[in-house]
Amino acid sequence: MNRLLVVVVVALAACAGKKDAPAEPAAAPFPRVADSAAILPLAKTPRPTHVVWIDAGGALEIAPADKVWTGGLPAARTPAADLDALAAIAFPDEAAVRDPWSFSSIRSLAKEAERGFQRAPAAIGVRDIDEPYVLVLASPTVDGLRAVRVIRRIGGRFGVALPRAQLGALRFVFRPDAIGSTVDETRDPWVEMHLASDGIDVLSLPSNGRARVAWSKATADELRAIVKSFGREPPKLDVFVGAGVTHQQLVDTLVALDGAGVSTVFLGSSPGPADGRHEAITQAAIAQRGAMSDTAVVVLGQPNTQGDLEKVEIKRVVRQQAPALLACYDAELAKQPDLRGTVSSQFFIAPNGTVVASNASGVAPEVATCIAEAIKKATFPQPKGGGGVQVSYPFTFRPRET
């Protein structure tokens, strides 16, 4: 990806040049942003169940929201020693908070998902949903990782300060302790934003698209153009926060993404440096569902099936064919060193387990034809019930990096 990614960092200085602008306090108690469609006045949000305060040192306080909702910090707040204590106060019966967010279904999906080895755990942020929530108010200078860990544990909205000291909240409502890899698990490739103290790395994975930029000012329109360059609308992004990032920078990033049309954000702690992330994911994918030769790599995608044969059995047999699939690709890679891409294959498994029809397309005609023939030679377990099984299976090829 050659386009430069710039993330909005909204600061008080943006308003300094306006004529007759009202005087502002020297420091805001909460992250401050400019007027934006990404911010909801607290009077227009449902009353939260609780309000959490994270001070500049990272200390936690919590209180039930005032019955007469003013949008401010309740006067009487209870200190919480850690995240578990915070959750125990917010949700005395922890199971009760899980039901509205369908945690049982999320975790059952986790058992089936095969992308957990690639995508880091994250809280799921969905824009403009009307659900019970906890309002998380934090100092703009607090470590952003502290705010992320609170949101991952108990969920909620981030509170912010608008100009003239009005309070508001981000439109994103985060669901606690969710697993990003289990939601929309067919999303491939996906985009990660790694927030670091000196800038942002944006990675398109599992391909090798990457942009590295410093923190700077821009407009949501500019960000929207960059987001659209990934080819998805509306996009879904994994936002990972590293050491040295302030809560203000995190909030500014979320505001910019909202302005760019992003409807879903997966928010978590950094899984590690962006450098080498692509190769680490590739190696993990290969270990789980791929193979490599001296010159090439193939990663087996997720099959779609119609019929009574377990996917795990189909994957097992296809994985045994991986050397033959690589040989098909290697033969053409020798002629076209930049050759890469995904082959989409379709085949039909007969009741006796043999493949009676097979075709494929993508990458190059010679590669696709060879792969269709390789799959046709495979023998699968017999489907249950005596019927056949129709399978669609993608295979992604790339040259092996040296």
The residue whose two tokens read 């401010």 is 72
CATH code assigned at 390: 3.30.2420
Kindly state whether residues 183 and 250 are assigned to the same domain.
Answer: yes
CA-to-CA separations, 71 to 87, 209, 266, 285, in angstroms, rounded? 21, 42, 26, 46
Domain housing 145: 12-275
CA 203 to chain centre: 11
Mean pLDDT of 215-226: 60
Name, in order, each residue with C-beta under 8 angstroms of 317's C-beta and a sequence gap of 6 or more. Answer: 378, 379, 380, 381
Q: Which of 275, 309, 334 is the C-terminal boundary of a domain? A: 275
Q: Is the pLDDT score of 180 beyond 50? A: no
pLDDT the model gives residue 9: 27
Mean pLDDT of 156-179: 82
pLDDT the model gives residue 176: 79
Measured between alpha carbons, how far is 276 from 340 in angstroms, rounded to an integer? Answer: 20
Measured between alpha carbons, how far is 324 from 327 in angstroms, rounded to an integer? Answer: 5
Kindly state whether residues 293 and 244 are assigned to the same domain.
Answer: no
User: Could you tell me if 140 and 28 are in contact, meaning their C-beta atoms sit under 8 angstroms apart?
Assistant: yes
The reply to whether 6 falls in a domain is: no
Q: Is the pLDDT score of 168 beyond 80? A: yes
Kindly state whether residues 187 and 222 are assigned to the same domain.
Answer: yes
Looking at residue 127, its amino acid is R
The reply to whether 250 falls in a domain is: yes
Portion of the chain with pLDDT greater than 90, in percent: 38
Name, in order, each residue with C-beta under 8 angstroms of 190's C-beta and a sequence gap of 6 or more. Answer: 119, 204, 205, 236, 238
The reply to whether 5 falls in a domain is: no
Kindly state whether residues 251 and 301 are assigned to the same domain.
Answer: no
The residue whose two tokens read 């449902």 is 46
Helix (H, G, I), strand (E, B) or coil at 297: strand
Nearest CA among 109, 119, 113 for reference residue 239: 119
Tokens of 282: 């590739």
The reply to whether 2 falls in a domain is: no
Kindly state whether residues 105 and 144 are assigned to the same domain.
Answer: yes
Q: Which of 275, 298, 318 is the C-terminal boundary of a domain? A: 275
The reply to whether 154 falls in a domain is: yes
Mean pLDDT of 50-58: 93
User: Could you tell me if 18 and 35 are in contact, meaning their C-beta atoms sit under 8 angstroms apart?
Assistant: no
Kindly state whether residues 271 and 294 are assigned to the same domain.
Answer: no
Name, in order, each residue with C-beta under 8 angstroms of 60's C-beta and a sequence gap of 6 or more. Answer: 52, 53, 54, 79, 80, 81, 82, 83, 85, 86, 150
Q: What is the pLDDT of residues 101-140, one digit of tens each?
A: 444 433 333 333 344 446 677 888 888 777 788 999 999 9
The reply to whether 111 falls in a domain is: yes
Phi then psi for residue 76, to 5 deg, are -100, 110
Mean pLDDT of 58-79: 84
Q: Which of 242, 275, 308 is the C-terminal boundary of a domain? A: 275
pLDDT the model gives residue 19: 37
70 vs 271, higher pLDDT = 271
Kindly state whether residues 267 and 313 are assigned to the same domain.
Answer: no
CA 103 to chain centre: 18
Kindly state whether residues 211 and 309 are assigned to the same domain.
Answer: no
Name, in order, each residue with C-beta under 8 angstroms of 99's C-beta and a sequence gap of 6 or more. Answer: none
Q: Is the pLDDT score of 271 beyond 70? A: yes
CA-to-CA separations, 134 to 42, 189, 266, 267, 370, in angstroms, rounded? 12, 32, 18, 16, 56
Kindly state whether residues 156 and 251 are assigned to the same domain.
Answer: yes
pLDDT the model gives residue 113: 37
Looking at residue 23, its amino acid is A
Q: Give the chain's mean pLDDT.
A: 78
Q: Is the pLDDT score of 284 beyond 80? A: no
pLDDT band at 361 (very low <50, low <70, confident <90, very high): very high
Please state the domain count of the chain: 2
Kindly state whether residues 163 and 214 are assigned to the same domain.
Answer: yes
The reply to whether 377 falls in a domain is: yes
Burial of 402 (0-12, 13-18, 19+ CB in 10 A): exposed
Q: What is the pLDDT of residues 295-326, one digit of tens each?
A: 888 988 889 999 989 888 998 899 899 999 99
The reply to whether 282 falls in a domain is: no
Kindly state whether residues 45 and 122 are assigned to the same domain.
Answer: yes
User: Could you tell me if 236 and 266 are in contact, meaning their C-beta atoms sit under 8 angstroms apart?
Assistant: yes
264-298 burial code (b ≥16 CB/10 A, e <16) = bbbbbbbbeebeebbeebbebbbeebbbbeeebbb
Kindly state whether residues 250 and 305 are assigned to the same domain.
Answer: no
